[in-house]
Structures are given as C-alpha cells and as structure tokens.
Structure 1
Amino acid sequence: MASLDSSPMLLSVDLQQGMVEAPEEWGPRSTPSLVPNVQYLLKTWRDKGWPVLHVQHDDVADPTNIINSKYPETFRAHACSAPEEGEPIFVKTVGSAFIAPDLGAEIEKLGKKRRIVVIGMDGSQCVNSTTRHGSDLGYDLIVVEDACASYGMGGGFDCEKTHEAAMQMLKGCVKVVKTDEVLGF
C-alpha cells in the first residue's frame, strides 16, 4: 500500500446531477457503468484515507445552462459522487479543472508529485480539457475511462464513439485505464 504522502489523489470532475442525468435533448450518455465505477473508486479512496478533490462546473457564460449555480438541483453533485465532510470542492467556470481557484494550491499542499486519478464528465469536454492542461502543467495523471462518460457530439459521433475518441486522444499525453486496472499503478 502506498504511504499517505505518496498515495494518489482522486480528482472528480463535473460529476453533477445535471451532467450525469442530463436532459433528454442532450441524448444518451456513454458508459452505462459510470455510477457504480465512480462509487467504487470513491469508496476505495475513502477507505484508504487517500485525498479526494471535487470540481464542479458553473456555466456562467450561459445562464440558461442547467450546469449553472442558479439551478441548485442540477448544479449539485450527483449522488454517486457527493463529497463527504472534509473533501474540498472547487468551482470552475471554464473547461479545465486546473483553472478553479485554489485547486492548484490544494494540490501543492498535498504534494504536487502525487499521481492524480481523474474521473468525471464529459469525457470529450471538461475531462479532456482538464487532462491536457494538467499534463501541460507537469502533473502525473491517469484517466479512468469507465469512470468518465460523454454525450454525443453529432456528425455521426454518438455518445459511445465520442467517448472512445476522447479517450483515444488522451492516450497521447496520459495513461488511460479501466476501473479494475487503476490500482495497479
């Protein structure tokens, strides 16, 4: 088992009610196993006493978007990823979680050299932006592809094709693994 100083951080990105259970007009979501995989990883991290960080998206650019803090029911964390006492929550207004005020300081406090395991929504948007940005910043990142999900982006890319493409793009800069593989690193 990793020592507390070198244990990996879990970064939960945009696992909000309105993202996990989006409106019908967004179309289907990829990754049917998202909720149980997220629950399993959070339980594992918590049982081991490893750091868990939560990031939520507040779409201030579009005040009608359900991922806006004006809509508390859809803005709140999804039940599968609800923060527990002592787990910090950071709010961002752009794609990358690393833009969220104080997230970088929290990572520095916990130890920048720790591996950061990323889970969340939407794989083709904020997870992708967060991962690429974090890699550029020099963080050691792993993305858990089946603890992330995406919505389709049109043009023949349904939710599953979109998610697969997003995860393939990330493989050029970080490790991409499945839930049952993540603890092997």
Structure 2
Amino acid sequence: MDIAENAALVVVDVQKGFDFPGLGARNNPGADDNIATLVDVWQASGRPVVFVRHDSVSADSPLRPGQEGNDFKDYVEQRRGKGAGDELFLTKTVNSAFYGTPDLDGWLKAREITQVVVAGIQTNLCVETTSRMGGNLGYGVVVAYDATYTFDVEGPFGWRRTADEIGQAAAVSLHGGGFARVVNTADVVVGASAA
C-alpha cells in the first residue's frame, strides 16, 4: 500500500484512563505495541504526528482534565517531541479529532497533507468518528486496525456485543462504506518504508 511521504499519523486518545478497571474486556491486546511502532516509524521518517487527547466534560469520567486518567499513557508521553517532523498536540471534548483545538483540518491543509493514518482508542468511538470525518473532508484515511482497541458494550434491547464484534463492525463500516482503508500495522509500516 502507498503511504505518502507527508502522511500524518493521528494518535487518538491513548490515555491512562483506558487502563482503569471497570471498562470491561477489550480486544487487540497488542494494540499499544503497534501504536508505539507506528509513532516510532513516523518519527524516524520525519513524517508528521498528531497526538490527540480527550478532555472529557463528564464529571465521572477518568478522562476529565486534572485526573491521572486524562494523561497520555507513558509510552506515548515519552515519544512526544522526539520526531524529526512536525508535531501537533490537540485536545477535544467530542468524538472527532476534527472538532478539536487547534483545528486539525486547517493544520493538515496548511501542510498540504492529504493522507492520514489513524490509530488509538476506542475503535468504534473516537477512532471511527475521526476516520469518518476525515473521509468526509476528502482525506485519504487509513486505519491501522490492530493499533486500535475497544471494549465489550451493552446497547439497546439488552443487546451485548464483545469488543471483537464491536471492533470488527466498526472496521467493516469504515472500509465497506468507503470512509477509510482498514489494514494492519504491518501493512502500514511496509507502505511507509517503501515511500
């Protein structure tokens, strides 16, 4: 696959609060390692990296500002500021990084970036919403599926779905709906190395 020389890696909500107990079973146990690999590849190649943090406005959320859960996971924090390329840190209070501060769309356009690779947490929420909006805005969106994860969830009518089912449904919706190309981390790394 083709990864542009200036493709931006968008790392969504890789925060400590997602490691707290009570969220239920998760999928993709290797996702954190894959996210770290993508950041390392992007930084080594001088490509731009966007670090997105969710600042929840919910009083009971571990992701609200001032709480330990709002902080980036250590492996992400340790990598911030280490790359040769441009870096953006943005915060958001909703699911899409395109509704964050500063303006992601404006930042990408100012750098003539037309392709984004999305990784992070949660597959079916902020990763999916950011990817859908990116597709709607005309970006070539690639989702590194195994560099994302989510949790078991209960919906209406007592329906329960496992994290695997939820993650796969999000991937099928993104890929099948034409919003993004959903691949694995290894595919992205090979594509980035070939550029």
Q: What TM-score, normalized by structure 1, do the two folds share?
A: 0.89
Q: What residue in structure 1 maps to residue 171 of structure 2?
A: 167
Deviation at 1:157, TM superposition (A): 0.6
Q: How many residues align?
A: 178
Per-residue CA shift, 1:136-180, capped at 9, x if unaligned?
A: 111111000000101111223111111111111111221000011
> Within the alignment, does 1:63 sit opposite 2:59 as a pair?
yes
For residues 24-63 of structure 1, the aligned pairs below 5 Å read 24-60=21-57, 62-63=58-59
Give the letter for the 1:175 counterpart.
R
Q: Distance in 2 between matches of 1:175 and 1:183?
A: 15
For residues 138-153 of structure 1, the aligned pairs below 5 Å read 138-153=138-153
Which consecutive segments of 4 or more residues in structure 1 shift more than 6 A?
none
| Maintained 8 Å contact 1:38/1:80 | no
Q: Distance in 1 between matches of 2:75 and 2:166?
A: 23
Q: What TM-score, normalized by structure 2, do the two folds share?
A: 0.85
| Maintained 8 Å contact 1:11/1:54 | yes
Q: What residue in structure 2 maps to residue 15 of structure 1?
A: 14
> Within the alignment, does 1:123 sit opposite 2:123 as a pair?
yes
Q: What residue in structure 1 maps to residue 111 of structure 2?
A: 110
From 62, 78, 87, give the equivalent of 2:73.
78
Identity of counterpart residues, as a percentage?
A: 28
CA RMSD of the aligned region, Å?
Answer: 1.9
Per-residue CA shift, 1:59-116, capped at 9, x if unaligned?
A: 11x1220011131x11011123225226321000101000012222211222132x10
Q: Distance in 2 between matches of 1:7 and 1:88?
A: 14
Long gaps (5+) in structure 2: none
Give the letter for the 1:140 counterpart.
G
Q: Distance in 2 between matches of 1:8 and 1:148?
A: 18
Q: Distance in 2 between matches of 1:81 and 1:43?
A: 10
